[in-house]
Structure 1
Amino acid sequence: MDLTTLRKKAREELKGYCRVCPVCDGRACAGEAPGMGGTGTGAAFGANLQALCAYRLNMRTLHGVRTADTTVNLFGRELSMPVLAAPMTGVLYNMGGRLSEEDFIRTIVAGAKAAGTLGMSGDGADPAMFDSGLAAIAAAGGHGVPFIKPRAQEAVKALLKKAQAAGAVAAGVDVDGAGLAVMALKGQPVSPKTPAELAELISGTTLPFVVKGIMTPDEARLAFDAGAAAIVVSNHGGRVLDHTPGAAEVLPGIVRAVKGRGVILADGGVRTGADVLKYLALGADAVLVGRPLVTGAFGGGAEGVAFLLQKLRAELASAMLLTGTASVREVSPHILCPNPCG
């Protein structure tokens, strides 16, 4: 498999929904949500990439690092890399429907597992979205993390029980989906959660609980106070609120506030292994990647997803060697240089 062939096929399969641009920066698809773009002006989508571009990497080659250890342990699983497949749903109205919801998420989870990492699944107005994700995770021996929309309390509790029964390694709620109008239109309203409501959900499951959609230090504290095992610093790919900051923009402040209290994941704008390393240097324990894996799934199935994840891992290892970084578990912030350098 090669990248050119994969991208060519994906462009054909996603025609009318994703252009598979040379640089996936949200400019061509601004406002196309549903679709693959960011909401409104697309500024929040672009902010994720711009925030990462605010940093460069200091190259260092006079050191004793000979190999780069990209392995990490998350939720009790040894992973080949600190890169996880982000939860994605809505294949029909976001990606054109050439793959079914079931086939898409099975491809994502299986491809992630083949690459030695975890796939995440999502939730939506159609029950098949969540259920197909659970089926894919169960088929992969529980090697995945399902996310639930911030539905009514009892609805979330019921889905958490299903996630536990499927053998998932962890589960969570993407609170950044609180404003999704399509859910309300389908008679399944979602809304923000109070800290007390969040604590109630967390106390009702034995699974490690992940809160996705944290963008401020105070809400990071609230999530861990409620008992979360992990948070995801994320603006939902710029798809729910226009003009938010990029994830890398707010991550350092969040890390200062809650480092050591649990796992900190970051999601937004990851396109290369160097992006992964930047997030790690800013304090994340691992990152999520979303849109590029859509290209992998439609262009090459599970093999395509694994191919792109392995490409990220190889790029990460190369960037580590050229910054004197021996392990992804110990990445120094000093490898970063503000752009432009002073």
Structure 2
Amino acid sequence: MDIKEIKKNAKERMKEFCILCPECNGRWCAGKVPGMGGASSGGSFQRSFEKLKEIKIAMRTLHKVSDPKLSCNIFGVDLSFPALVAPITGTKFNMGGYVSDEEYSNDVVLGSIEAGTIAMIGDTGDPNCFQFGINAIKKANGKGIAIIKPRENSEIIKRIKIAEEAGAIAVGVDVDGAGLVTMKLFNQPVGPKSLDDLKEIISSTKLPFIVKGILTVDEAKLCVEAGASAIVVSNHGGRCLNETFAPAEVLKDIAQAVGNDIIILADGAVREGVDILKYLALGANAVLIGRPIIWGSIGGRQEGVKITLDTFKAQLYQSMILSGADDVENFKNLSCILYTKKV
């Protein structure tokens, strides 16, 4: 099985929930929420893709870099390359239902480990989905991260304790899920969090805590003040609020403001290995990969997830050689590899 076969299978199996466009830019699937698209006109999804696309790499081949270092350590775990699987749920109403949420959770958690990295499991209106993810983490001896929707604090803390019992590496809340349509469909209340809310949640656990869905410097600083271990610069795939900034256009400012105080993960429109390189050069420590992992699971199950991640890893390796980048942990000093002038 190769990546072409995986994508071919996924296209056939997703029942036009996703047609695997030549460019996954959010245009065909605009407004398909639930589904695979972005909210309303799909502007936020499209902007995430376009702003990352605008960033170009300065190719350099007069150097000595022939075997760049891809490995890194996140939350005390050694990863083969700086990418984790984004938290995604709702296979039936978002992806067509070829795989169940239980099957998807097992595919991504176990497939990620085979590729030398880890997956985040998600939360949604159906409580079974979170439990399926927890069960997958248990099967993986704790090698996974649990991300919880911005529910009432008591409900979040309850789920944190479940993740702790499963041995999870870290936990977090995707605060950008405060306006998700799918939560409303299941009558599951979610909403914004105050600084005091964050402090209460974070103080409830000794695990590293992640705040996912940060797009501004001021909120990044609030996460540092609250005691978070990491933030994810993300607009939730453009699925919550239309006309937001793209992660790629705010990441550099956020990294300059808090990069020495907190782990920074970037999420949005990662479609090939060179996109990882771009986000790292802008100041991220690692990235999250979302939609391509869905294709991997549906098109090739656990093996498809591993192959998809291995493909990204190989592409990143080649991109580093051709830009003179020697180490994924040195990118904060290698922003010169980026070229942002529009062509």
> TM-score normalised by the shorter chain: which range applies?
over 0.9
| CA displacement at 1:54 relative to structure 2 | 2.0
| CA displacement at 1:23 relative to structure 2 | 1.4
| CA displacement at 1:186 relative to structure 2 | 2.5
| 1:239 maps to 2:239 | yes
Alignment of 1:236-315 (within 5 A): 236-315=236-315
* Residue 155 of structure 1: aligned partner: 155
* Residue 92 of structure 1: aligned partner: 92
Aligned partners of 2:34 and 2:181 also within 8 Å: no
Aligned partners of 2:33 and 2:181 also within 8 Å: no
Residues 13-32 of structure 1 show CA distances to partners (whole Å, capped at 9, x for unaligned) of 10131111121111111110
Separation of aligned partners in 2, 1:16 and 1:340? 33
Separation of aligned partners in 1, 2:185 and 2:97? 20
TM-score when normalising by structure 2: 0.98
Separation of aligned partners in 2, 1:81 and 1:154? 35
Aligned partners of 2:82 and 2:286 also within 8 Å: yes
| CA displacement at 1:133 relative to structure 2 | 0.6
| CA displacement at 1:338 relative to structure 2 | 1.3
Match of 1:78, SS state, is strand
Q: Which runs of 4+ in 1 moved over 4 A?
A: none
Separation of aligned partners in 2, 1:124 and 1:115? 26
Aligned residues: 341
* Residue 12 of structure 1: aligned partner: 12
Separation of aligned partners in 1, 2:230 and 2:95? 29
| CA displacement at 1:185 relative to structure 2 | 4.0
Match of 2:163, SS state, is helix
CA spacing shift, 1:256–1:43, aligned 2, 3 Å: same
Match of 1:160, SS state, is helix
* Residue 323 of structure 1: aligned partner: 323
Separation of aligned partners in 2, 1:323 and 1:266? 21
Separation of aligned partners in 1, 2:184 and 2:31? 20
Separation of aligned partners in 1, 2:198 and 2:297? 33
Residues 66-112 of structure 1 show CA distances to partners (whole Å, capped at 9, x for unaligned) of 21110010011100010110000111100111111100111011111
Amino acid at match of 1:118: I
The more displaced of 14-23 and 179-188 is 179-188
* Residue 65 of structure 1: aligned partner: 65
| CA displacement at 1:187 relative to structure 2 | 3.0
Percentage of identical aligned residues? 49
The more displaced of 290-299 and 184-193 is 184-193
Where in structure 2 are there 5+ consecutive unaligned residues?
Answer: none
| CA displacement at 1:7 relative to structure 2 | 1.3
| CA displacement at 1:47 relative to structure 2 | 0.9
Amino acid at match of 1:260: N
Separation of aligned partners in 2, 1:236 and 1:14? 21
Match of 1:187, SS state, is coil
* Residue 338 of structure 2: aligned partner: 336
* Residue 3 of structure 1: aligned partner: 3
Aligned partners of 2:181 and 2:240 also within 8 Å: no
Separation of aligned partners in 1, 2:21 and 2:272? 15
| CA displacement at 1:198 relative to structure 2 | 0.4
Separation of aligned partners in 1, 2:281 and 2:182? 37
* Residue 115 of structure 1: aligned partner: 115
**Aligned-pair RMSD on alpha carbons?**
1.0
Aligned partners of 1:53 and 1:339 also within 8 Å: no
Aligned partners of 2:3 and 2:311 also within 8 Å: no
Separation of aligned partners in 2, 1:53 and 1:94? 25
* Residue 206 of structure 1: aligned partner: 206
Separation of aligned partners in 2, 1:246 and 1:182? 22
| CA displacement at 1:63 relative to structure 2 | 1.1
Residues 29-82 of structure 1 show CA distances to partners (whole Å, capped at 9, x for unaligned) of 111010100000001001111111221111111111121110010011100010
The more displaced of 185-194 and 86-95 is 185-194
| CA displacement at 1:209 relative to structure 2 | 0.2
Separation of aligned partners in 2, 1:138 and 1:339? 47
Match of 1:330, SS state, is helix
Separation of aligned partners in 2, 1:223 and 1:297? 33
Residues 257-286 of structure 1 show CA distances to partners (whole Å, capped at 9, x for unaligned) of 101111100000001111100000000000
